[in-house]
A = this chain, B = another copy of it.
Amino acid sequence: MLNSSDILRGYTDTIILSQLARGDSYGYIISKNVQEITGGELSLKEATLYTTFRRLEAASLIESYWGSEEVGARRRYYHLTDAGRRLYEENKAEWTRYRAMITELIEGEERSK
C-alpha cells in the first residue's frame, strides 16, 4: 500500500498554491476542500498545513491577514503573491511532465514480451 503521507509529499506546496490561485482562503477550508475533492482519501493534516503556510510565507509566496469576521472563530486568510502565482504555474506544468514520467516508471511497457 502506498503510504498516504508520502503520496502528497512534495505536492503539498503546489496544492495550497493551487487553492489560493482561485482566491484568498484560509486553512480550515483548504483542508476541507482537499478532503472533499479526494473523497476523504487524502488530506492535508493540520500540522502539515500550518507549517507549510509558515514556509510559504517566509518564502514570500503567500501573504496572510486576519479576517474581519465579527462572529465565529477568527480566520487567518492567505493571499497568493505574484511570485507565488508564477511558481504555481510552473509547478502545474511540471506536474504534467512528472506525472507522465512516474506513470511510465510504474506502468512501463513490458520488455521482451
Contact = CB atoms under 8 A, between A and B. Distances in A.
- State which size class the interface on A falls in: 35 or more
Interface in A71-98: 87, 90-92, 94-95, 97-98
Chain A interface, DSSP helix/strand/loop, else mixed? helix
Nearest to A109: B22
Contacts of A14: 2, 106
Given A1-B91, A90-B1, A11 B102 contact: yes
Contacts of A9: 6, 9-10
Copies in the complex: 2
B38 A101 contact: yes
Given A42-B98, A95-B2, A99-B103, A108 B7 contact: no
Contacts of A5: 10
A105 interface: yes
Contacts of A113: 22
B7 A105 contact: no
Given A6-B9, A7-B10, A10-B3, A18 B108 contact: yes
